[in-house]
Structure 1
Amino acid sequence: MLPGCPETYQSFQQSQEGRQAQRSRDQHQKVRQFRQGDIIALPAGIAHWSYNNGNDQLVLMVVHDTSNDDNQLDQNLRRFFLAGNPQQQQSGSFRRQEHSANNIFQGLDSRILAEAFDVSTETARKLQNENDRRGDIVRVKEGLQMTRPASFEEEEERSERRDNGLEETLCTMRFGENIADSERADIYTARGGRISTLNSHNLPILRDLQLSAERGFLYRNAMVSPHWNINAHSIVYVIRGSGRVQIVGNSNRPAFDGEVRQGQLLIVPQNFVVVKQAGNQGLEWISFKTNDVAKISPLAGRTSVIRAMPEEVLMNAYQISRDEAWRLKYNRQEVTVLSPTSSSRGQEQEQGRASIWSIV
């Protein structure tokens, strides 16, 4: 699932649940087939899944490069799971080498997940797979039914950075760019807020510094979709307002879960999932990221990895119905900044925010 890429495939499913006709049209990113002898190179931080639709056992040889330039963590291998209970299948020797457990949704508050996807709390709890004992490899009872390529394709995708022959000189180079202007926002949601980004594309000097920046503002109770930084660490400084922040690594416990206020600073390591939700006075922050073209991968919203997956994969990964999988994918139409839902506003009136802003 490549962040920001469109869902170019469409699957039609026969529904027995009485849903509207358009709900049977599942859109997802392209599903690629592979066979014996294929070598598949995945960019760092990209979410992916695989399914054996053949007649033989599938054996994969996987090589992880922890010394590449995109890895800004230490040299220890970390795997971040979106579904399942991987620790159920870990042997003793493997556990000593890798300390991952469960999936990253287990580290997030179920109420936060329900708000992020605009689904019920019950569905949000299913994402956490707490009672799922199948490990990280699951058996699909009737097979996945989805649109996929009819034949094997030979593709070669390359991403190379090339100079355009009109490079700036030191004397004429721009050294500054303003990202506080609301009209400059790269992402904007009417009731949610806005985010402006700055990288080496619009300020080339950042290429030498290996830095990029982000400035965001959220209206009351709005949220930034749970996401991870694919190729950078992030330093988050709260400019004004307050809100709740959760940060989850590759274990089932939050690395941070608490209220943040003006003047506070947080460090979000690469690949750690972070979600921000504004308080009653809104929330404004600036982030500095340790890559000149920092990329994020959202978990909820129109450009998320969940939206890019086929319904059949979600149904089997989280043991949910087709209707729940559809709501999980399509209830949120925003891109990254999520506006408050009616259910969250009602919950706030009944319970108050004091019970939510707990610090762990």
Structure 2
Amino acid sequence: MAVISSHNIYKLRLIVSEITTSLPLPLPLILLISHKILQFSFAEASMDLLPLILLISHTILQFSLAEASMESELGPKIAQKIFEGEGGFSYSWLSAEFPILSQAKVGAGKLVLNPLGLALPHYADSSKVAIVLQGKGRIGIIFPKASEQKVVEIEEGDIIPVPLAAVSWWFNDGDSKLIVIFLGDTSKAHSPGDFTYFLLAGAKGIFTGFSNNFVSGACDLDEEDTNKLVNSQSGVLIIKLKEGTNMPQPSKADKQEVVFNIEATLPDVYVENGGKLVVLSREKFPLLEEVGLSVKHVRLDANAMFAPEFSSDPAVQVIYIVEGSGRVEVVGIDSESVLNTTVKDGDLFVVPIVFVVSTVAGNEGMEWFSMTTSTQPFFKYLVGKTSLWKTLSPQVLQVTLNLTTEEAEVFSSKMNKNPILIPPPM
């Protein structure tokens, strides 16, 4: 049996110590360390030591790939264009490219309508909230248990709950683009992680799937009229109407029931140089009960921080960056960093159940909307006046953090001063 020199053992211990105290590391650095171990094993190690070093190297590679996979899995991702026409565009975050969507059973999409663009009447297999990011227009919606459509005007900042199987159409009657983002729960969807749409009309309309005999019999039409009914609309999903086309007029009374403008409401939290926060739950907007979701709107001022938080409901949070840029960090199981990256407008990422998330805005500030799969979400914070640390008794806080009485008092006093929207240092 070969003898392992004390020199080799010492070098191996140094390598292992360096690795175990440095993890988690960026993937390129971990791969470099792994490569160095292999170089050392072949150059200097005895045959008895070689299998151990190879095992360590293999373990590090597995760990690094798992960490890289988790970070990539949570995002951020931009939407993929799935339709383009004269009337506008449709985008989606596809679970095939963003697997956390199917795992968390949530989905996201975006509709961009050009002036006179019309998204044909349709319904989906998922409940969603629609958030108007830009422009104005009107929509018609028939709720699942209703027998009449409601037509309402929409504008920037409007939140519209769209329940599973609700039929809706969307029309841009303005002179600039109408942009709407959809965030929803896909737990009942045919393909969890994706919204599946069913069109009432057009080249992909429901009637095109039936034989003409069935359509003729159901609608009591002759062959010529049946062909016209099924095939006259050649557009798919989004079309452009002619100038002057008559469309239903919106109802102000219905808008109060169907739409909530989050821009017009007072913030739940406002901090000078920090930003503002609005949480829209079923308490403020009862119609959210129909979709089982809630919405949060955050505007962070330049270089301000949103305190680390997690949802104490069994809820997933989907966050879409509307404007600006910054950094986001998410901490998950075993206190591992699962996301630590830069985000910018157009990015979307997912925060799994009870994972902790925190963000810091860049020099221009940052704005985002988030959807939570709970109608009455409750968030807990790790810093600030309402932090978990404030609810612990001083004795427990002291022994938990292994602090002196004086140090614990300083920490607690800092919590009293910090809001959940933290302005940058002066």
TM-score for both structures, normalised by structure 1: 0.46
Q: Which has the larger radius of gyration?
A: 2
Task: Tell me which protein shows more strand as a share of its residues.
Answer: 2
Higher RCO structure, 1 or 2 (CA under 8 Å, sep 6+): 1
Please identify which structure carries the higher helix content: 2
